[in-house]
């Protein structure tokens, strides 16, 4: 129930109607019985500075940030965590004594299902398809796992080059390389962890995949195929790769949200409730 004492959390983006965050956060809030509500805010890019100041003035306790504001919000924050600085994007904003602070929980979300798998990550070769925003969190996550090599595959040489040179953390930079799409067959043969960070195969384009059927046969048995997409479940990409352990993007979505809610509430949150609320919503 919303009362005079209810504290507000939320998510800003443009558009925002598609966001699943209100569903999972409000499910967790209801289970915990805490006096909070999580709301969606559609904020056009030119309104961002006014809106961020307004959210502060309104006493909003914290908010998530989604497309197109993840980078644009950074100059408006008073502090930015090292992980958000490394990734170059903020997805979670919290109050500090002097102004908004920002962090990024996407790498935590990406890593959560991988950490549950016993592997010798120090010999792992990660191959990442796509070089957009999500790929940055995936690269940071793979470096945190300690992967021996991290190769980002993209279709635009200039963007790939900019991506390669955008990392200042030597722990990341020294294991990262970029390759054009044509190098994929060679890379797939060596891949231990193959991650799709492109939107190819996302609903309603369910029959698309970033790789061909022939390329899929090159992925070694025992590799992990990870698609950040969570609709459809499974994607064509995950169905193509035989003999691999497969992961879709739902757990990443849930875990990045759980990490944000834990930060705001400063208490453990019911991750299973958040997961089930999204599964129920997506299966409708």
Distance CA 235, CA 113 (A): 17
Q: CA–CA separation, 250 vs 255, rounded Å?
A: 9
Q: Is 104 in the site for ligand NAP (CB under 6 A)?
A: no
CB of residue 254 to ligand NAP, shortest distance in Å: 8
Our CB check for ligand NAP shows the closer of 51 and 247 to be 247
**What's the closest the beta carbon of residue 56 comes to ligand NAP, in angstroms?**
26
Q: Which value, to the nearest 10 degrees, does the dihedral of the CA atoms of residues 68, 203, 21, 17 take? A: 60
Q: Tell me the Ramachandran region of residue 251: left when phi exceeds 0, alpha when psi lies from -120 to 50, beta otherwise.
A: alpha
Strand 92-95 with 100-103, pairing = antiparallel
179 a catalytic residue = no
Q: Could you say which of 86, 154, 178, 194 contacts ligand NAP (CB under 6 A)? A: 154
Residue nearest to ligand NAP (CB): 132
CB of 134 to ligand NAP, least distance (A): 3
Q: How far apart are CA 239 and CA 245, in angstroms?
A: 11
- Which one, of 101, 162, 137, 158, lies nearest residue 226 by Cα? 137
- Nearest to residue 48, comparing CAs of 100, 13, 24? 13
Q: Minimum distance from CB of 202 to ligand NAP (Å)?
A: 5
Please give the Cα distance from 10 to 8 (Å, whole number). 7
Please state the closest distance from residue 25 (CB atom) to ligand NAP, in A.
Answer: 14
Out of 70, 115, 159, 179, the active site residue is: 70
- Which residue, 34 or 218, is less far from ligand NAP as judged by CB? 218
- 253 near ligand NAP, rule: CB under 6 A: yes
Question: Near ligand NAP by CB under 6 A, which window of 3-11, 94-102, 130-138, 270-278?
Answer: 130-138
| Separation between Cα atoms, residue 162 and residue 131, nearest integer Å | 10
174 to 203, contacts with ligand NAP by CB under 6 A?
197-200, 202
Name which of 192 and 196 has its Cβ closer to ligand NAP.
196
How far is C-alpha 78 from the chain's CA centre? Answer: 23
Task: Collapse the DSSP code of 145 into the 3-class scheme (helix H, G, I; strand E, B; otherwise coil) and give the result.
Answer: helix
Residue from 40, 133, 141, 232 binding ligand NAP (CB under 6 A): 133
Q: Which residues 223-242 are close enough to bind ligand NAP by CB under 6 A?
A: 228-230
Q: Which residues bind ligand NAP (CB under 6 A)?
A: 106, 109, 130-135, 154-156, 159, 197-200, 202, 210, 228-230, 249, 252-253, 256
Give the residue numbers annotated as catalytic, written as ranges: 70
């Amino acid at each position: 129930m919303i009362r005079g004492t209810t504290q507000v959390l939320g998510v800003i983006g443009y558009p925002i109607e598609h966001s699943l965050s209100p569903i999972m956060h409000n499910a967790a809030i209801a289970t915990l019985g805490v006096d909070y509500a999580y709301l969606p805010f559609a904020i056009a890019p030119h309104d961002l500075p006014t809106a961020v100041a307004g959210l502060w003035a309104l006493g909003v306790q914290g908010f998530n940030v989604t497309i197109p504001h993840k980078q644009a919000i950074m100059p408006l924050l008073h502090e930015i965590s090292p992980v958000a600085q490394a990734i170059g994007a903020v997805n979670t904003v919290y109050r500090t004594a002097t102004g908004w602070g920002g962090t990024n929980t996407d790498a935590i979300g990406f890593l959560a299902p991988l950490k549950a798998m016993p592997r010798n990550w120090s010999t792992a070769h990660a191959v990442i398809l796509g070089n957009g925003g999500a790929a940055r969190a995936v690269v940071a996550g793979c470096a945190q796992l300690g992967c021996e090599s991290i190769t980002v595959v993209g279709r635009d040489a200039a963007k790939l080059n900019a991506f390669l040179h955008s990392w200042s953390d030597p722990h990341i930079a020294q294991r990262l390389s970029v390759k054009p799409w044509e190098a994929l067959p060679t890379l797939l043969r060596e891949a231990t962890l193959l991650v799709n960070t492109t939107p190819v195969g996302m609903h309603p384009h369910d029959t698309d995949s970033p790789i061909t059927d022939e390329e899929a046969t090159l992925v070694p048995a025992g590799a992990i195929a990870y698609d950040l997409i969570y609709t459809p479940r499974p994607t064509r990409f995950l169905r193509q790769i035989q003999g691999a352990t497969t992961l879709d993007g739902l757990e990443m979505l849930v875990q990045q949200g759980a990490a944000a809610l834990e930060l705001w509430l400063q208490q453990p949150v019911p991750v299973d409730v958040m997961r089930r609320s999204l599964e129920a919503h997506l299966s409708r």
